[in-house]
Structure 1
């Protein structure tokens, strides 16, 4: 794994003590609930009021991080409902492409969300990819529960009730559908973040003609299935993300043993979620470097 020291210290998360960042990570991933975060955070910041303010500051501000507006006239946005008989029955996907590309066929990128469903940040990621000339397809695992509810806490709670294996099947179904959907040229890649990073790894083991997969701080693919990977992998980790990074040594060994084409980078000083520009964990130096590498891979492998 390559290490990028130039990303160190570039994020606002460095303003928070490690103990608070670790508590927030535990909260985001369901290890503790909101009350547990506030109670434990209060011990570090001097009381419940300060803990509540800290949680608000660490939580996403979608307007702050928005890069491409939903009504950007350069884009055409649509939705498609996809049958998923092995998953949760159906999954709805957000589809973005340049208006100038309507009627053309384009390479497809599946965009896999974090553990809150298809929130405004992931829709924005899809729009960014569309402006770079891709047909971006972003499925929402919360479809059968009414879709993203507009509230991160409610979204996280709803997501926790779903069967993870069925969610995986939903994304497999969406990827298979996207291969031949109107506007697709059949060349496909996948990118995912946090939970979605694990989905990107999973898709690499399940979709034989996937050309590239880019997991950002995601769980490894099932190690027994690594030999099935045909896609080129680009794997991004935050240097301070011990929880996620613990799975890398075993994954790397399996990739090497299977002869899989991959590159992996650790961004020194970056947190879990460093690419998410709606929260203080955003690390601009690391995110810019990782995203530039991601686009370069997609443009090379999907051309």
Structure 2
């Protein structure tokens, strides 16, 4: 079974993150949920983004790096929304990471170098207002060109956090399908 580093969204390490992490635990995986907001949670993404901007993204990356420094590999990096940026960054730079699973976000403004032995899986709604047009494709193409296993899944609607059962964005059908796909990748990793 995989050890998954599961990174929270801009609202912080809240009940929704714990519920999503529990889905992975229930499937038999070990899940670590680093809190790079130092215990702060927010009622809205806008408040969380304001905190991110106040603290600075670099500081948050440093907190993530410190929180995972002592963890032995291999690991899977997964994240929700802002947490996807953390998972994506680790996927690109940390040789312990076997896969980056990006939930409700992900992408690059231009092509990047991606390691061929780090799988990439992305999930988001087709009309999600938080997804920047073209950015997912740059990341996906970079990973595919490197020879990495690359999977990209679009879901109907405009719901941003459709897999978080604690939000009004929750869409059970999409969430169930997403978890089937995520667990399928984890099974593949465990068997290889």
- Structure-2-length-normalised TM-score: 0.85
Offset of 1:222 from its aligned partner? 7.2
SS in 1 for 2:34: strand
For 1:269 and 1:224, how far apart are their aligned partners in 2?
Answer: 27
Between structure 1 and structure 2, the one with the greater Rg is 1
Q: Which has the higher contact order (CA 8 A, sep 6+)?
A: 1
For 2:40 and 2:19, how far apart are their aligned partners in 1?
Answer: 14
Report the equivalent of 1:159: 52
For 2:122 and 2:101, how far apart are their aligned partners in 1?
Answer: 6
Q: In 1, are the aligned partners of 2:3 and 2:75 still within 8 Å (CA)? A: yes
Offset of 1:136 from its aligned partner? 0.8
Q: In 1, are the aligned partners of 2:159 and 2:169 still within 8 Å (CA)? A: yes
Report the equivalent of 2:35: 140
Change (3 A) 1:107 1:259: closer
Q: In 2, are the aligned partners of 1:112 and 1:200 still within 8 Å (CA)? A: yes
- Aligned residue pairs: how many? 188
Gaps of 5+ in 1: 1-105, 180-185
Structure 1 or 2: larger helix share? 1
- Structure-1-length-normalised TM-score: 0.56
For 2:110 and 2:66, how far apart are their aligned partners in 1?
Answer: 22
Deviation string, structure 1 residues 113-157 (Cα, Å, up to 9, x no partner):
1012211211222233222222210011111xxx125x4259624
For 2:21 and 2:14, how far apart are their aligned partners in 1?
Answer: 11
For 1:134 and 1:253, how far apart are their aligned partners in 2?
Answer: 29
Report the equivalent of 1:113: 8
Deviation string, structure 1 residues 39-89 (Cα, Å, up to 9, x no partner):
xxxxxxxxxxxxxxxxxxxxxxxxxxxxxxxxxxxxxxxxxxxxxxxxxxx
SS in 2 for 1:302: helix
Q: In 1, are the aligned partners of 2:12 and 2:40 still within 8 Å (CA)? A: yes
Correspondence 1:120-269 to 2 at 5 A? 120-143=15-38, 147-149=39-41, 151-153=42-44, 156=48, 157-179=50-72, 186-220=73-107, 223=110, 225-228=112-115, 230-246=117-133, 247-269=135-157
SS in 1 for 2:33: strand
Gaps of 5+ in 2: none
